[in-house]
Chains A and B, each alone.
Chain A
């Protein structure tokens, strides 16, 4: 296989038969790949670590974490925002670039949507874990109860509960709806009874009749047009969780768009990382070409510029506003105990991605992998900055304090990273890793 180049066409091979045979062969185990179990084992083990730390948390309570006054929101909230941001990038690629009819989108939307699913699953765990009494999480849901109580509908935290509920449910539905035609393909190509029954049941009788396609095409377009703004609303509401509080460092009207910019940056970086890994693991180089890497790098660069703008405005509004507590808080961010975390975020999210201005570097997979990992770590630093640095300098100096994550915090974080990769690796063994029916349209246009 030749090295990817930014000038590559969106597909190196335009044969529908070859594409369908190759993509559907993976779930049927027709082409065993040796590295697979090597890749699965460590992430499966990490998922076990996650289960262990959750069980211990349920046994011992949130006291095993590093949280205390004044930093009462620690890793749980950092990780929650970080994961939901990563998830958002996947929906954005799948839905928005469907609406813009971008030809490169069809090869990677399945990976992006699957990433969204597991990112959202990892994110969804944390708000429940951080509750202290997680078995009462359903109290967030407004239901008639014997206590005569209702949740506070004016609180962004409750908005967030509904936003995440909607986002996770809609992502699953959108993902499954997009899978239907491919599940039908898998059903019809299956040679063993077991797989025919499995995919046949999942395909729900989709058989590609013109009536089905007519309704399908229209519905998919409308759903995509709803999913794109949904992502923005979800991440805006996550931003409002913070902006709604009067805490210095949080109380800012720019938070909703700022959070969306960050979501796109980390989401694009994660999709890029997965695309680079999976195209090798599953030999998809013919359909995920240098063009895809080039486009995703450009998207990452663009969102990095957005994030840089938000960082600058963050500082500007503090000094333009002139509120003393805000200035103290911001100065602590720049020069205080946690300053390396903040500057790490600036370095990884804003400075290093500027290398992607150079065309040749955008297809240098080693460099891009490092940059993506940098961005993913940098975005975690950004969430750390927002949550911990803001909280450790509240209005009253008598309440100032430091925070460090405990061993259990770190184990839970690593555990969700394990769950994320483990889930994606399992998913690509069951579902086609590329949207075959949409690729057929792309390939036909290329012919």
Chain B
């Protein structure tokens, strides 16, 4: 397997080439660019919600357990289960776990940290985080992919081992 990388000067050119490559029958395609692109589905908001709810529930339970069972303090006959006072800490722990699950969930979903991938060997990729938009095609027939990329106006085409 080989990876063929083509670099484009802007996002529009890259998108146009991407559409035509798909029509030409190339499937294993990944694109790279220096700014956020591509709206789409991601499980992470649900992961964040789950982390937040778990944290808040854990915090609430923790406080209930300790004030009611582990260390009950009778202060002027006030109820031990004084739940309104538990809300701030439950909220803070919920937020902490929500943010942590968002950031670490992002790493897990993207299998990061992976400091090196075969595609990184393509010299064109060096500018994909600055001012170039790249298309990487993983293919058995690199010659066809190279031709297609040149035909669809790539500025630069590199080929590396997959």
Contact = CB atoms under 8 A, between A and B. Distances in A.
Interface string A183-210: 0110111000000000011001111111
Interface in B28-47: 30-42, 44-45
Task: Name the residue among A158, A181, A189, A219 with the largest chain B CB count within 10 angstroms.
Answer: A219
22 contacts: A16-B130, A16-B131, A142-B66, A148-B71, A152-B73, A153-B67, A153-B86, A154-B82, A159-B89, A173-B99, A173-B103, A174-B99, A206-B112, A207-B117, A208-B32, A209-B32, A210-B32, A218-B42, A222-B44, A223-B102, A226-B52, A441-B35
Nearest to B40: A214
B69 to A, nearest CB: 10
Contact of A165 (B41, B96, B120): B96
Interface in B110-145: 110, 112-117, 119-120, 125-131
B108 to A, nearest CB: 10
B115 A213 contact: no
Given A170-B96, A213-B36, A437-B35, A177 B103 contact: yes
B115 to A, nearest CB: 5
Interface string B43-74: 01100100010000000001100110011010
A440 B35 contact: yes
A2 interface: no
B151 to A, nearest CB: 22
Interface in B73-106: 73, 82, 85-86, 88-89, 91-93, 95-96, 98-100, 102-103, 105-106
B109 interface: yes
B150 interface: no
A58 interface: no
B114 to A, nearest CB: 4
A169 interface: yes
Contacts of A233: 88, 91-92, 95
A215 B71 contact: no
A211 interface: yes
Contacts of A158: 89
A201 B91 CA distance: 33
A181 B131 CA distance: 13
B100 A205 contact: no
Interface residues of B, number: 59
A60 interface: no
B7 to A, nearest CB: 13
A437 B34 CA distance: 6
B62 A142 contact: yes
B120 A219 contact: no
Nearest to B120: A207
Going nearest first, the 10 A-B pairs with the smallest beta carbon separation are A204-B113, A154-B85, A150-B71, A440-B35, A159-B88, A166-B96, A205-B114, A218-B42, A185-B129, A166-B92
A212 B110 contact: yes
Contacts of A215: 42, 44, 106, 109-110
B109 A207 contact: no
Contact of B115 (A200, A218, A230): A200
A163 B88 contact: yes
A217 interface: yes
B58 to A, nearest CB: 12
Given A150-B70, A219-B48, A223-B103, A208 B129 contact: yes
Nearest to B127: A188
Nearest to A190: B126
Interface string A139-180: 000100000111011101011001101100110011011000
Given A207-B119, A226-B102, 15 more contacts: A16-B131, A150-B71, A159-B88, A165-B92, A169-B96, A170-B96, A173-B100, A204-B112, A207-B120, A212-B110, A214-B38, A215-B42, A217-B36, A222-B45, A233-B88
Contacts of A112: none
A176 B42 CA distance: 20
B128 A208 contact: yes
Nearest to A163: B92
Contacts of B95: 166, 170, 226, 230, 233
Given A210-B32, A211-B30, A204 B115 contact: yes
A368 to B, nearest CB: 32
A237 interface: yes
Interface in A1-42: 16-17, 20
